[in-house]
A and B are shown apart, each in its own frame.
Chain A
């Protein structure tokens, strides 16, 4: 079965640079979620989109922005990167409003040096 695809899997950036993470949801899933997991921590919700509209917002810094496109893929744009942004970034997708089983991608490991 098709899963959530994230690219790139690994990314190394320097402080103050920008990064773009991409997420391709499971086919027919219309909702995308972004989570950040720091070392030894639980995943923290950043932002979500339902049918290309922002549906919820968590502890996402103002330096980050995201959007969902017409083909339902999503991109997380991160600017003025800081050392503390180093983390695993997971994308998850689900199908609409019924239930809430979110299916996660493999994650993008971002390292800021």
Chain B
């Protein structure tokens, strides 16, 4: 039962363009969402998060959008850079207390020069 889904296993984007990574969730109890970036042989690196009381959070080139009614969130990277090439994981949790993260399957983003 995959509660967090990233339906695109891979995405290829031209350098300088916008990268949009999508994530859907099924558990309506989730109220905190995070995006992580992962390089091979390294642990996931926290990028950006959003709580369910917001619909947008921005940090530099990264913006996360949350649509609660659709149970959908997306990560926008503008402009995309070659160093952004990595696997991106969407994760969800319940904000109350120290709660586990439930991860999506990941999307491999490749930025082409």
Interface flags for A45-64 (1: CB within 8 Å of B; 0: not) read: 10010100001101000000
A100 near B95: Cβ-Cβ < 8 Å? yes
* B34 contacts partner chain A, Cβ-Cβ < 8 Å: yes
Bound form: Cα–Cα A56–B36 in Å: 21
* Chain A residues in 8 Å Cβ range of B49: 99-101
Number of chain B interface residues as a range: 20 to 34
Residue A102 contacts which of B42, B46, B97, B106 (CB distance < 8 angstroms)? Answer: B46
**How many angstroms between the C-alpha atoms of A56 and B98 in the bound complex?**
8
**In this complex, what residue of A is CB-closest to B43?**
A104
Given contacts A100-B34, A100-B95, A101-B34, contact A58 B100 (CB under 8 A): yes
> Contact at A50–B98, with CB atoms within 8 Å?
yes
Q: In the assembly, what is the distance between CA of A104 and CA of B42, in Å? A: 9
Enumerate chain B residues within 8 angstroms of A100, measured Cβ to Cβ: 32, 34, 49, 93, 95, 98-99, 101
Given A48-B100, A100-B99, A106-B42, 17 extra CB contacts under 8 A: A4-B43, A35-B101, A42-B103, A42-B106, A43-B44, A56-B98, A56-B100, A58-B100, A90-B44, A99-B32, A99-B49, A100-B34, A100-B95, A100-B101, A102-B34, A104-B43, A104-B46
Question: Which 3 residue pairs of A and B lie closest in terms of their CB atoms, listed nearest first?
Answer: A104-B43, A45-B100, A42-B103
* Residue ranges of B at the interface with A (Cβ–Cβ < 8 Å): 32, 34, 36, 41-46, 49, 51, 89, 93, 95-106
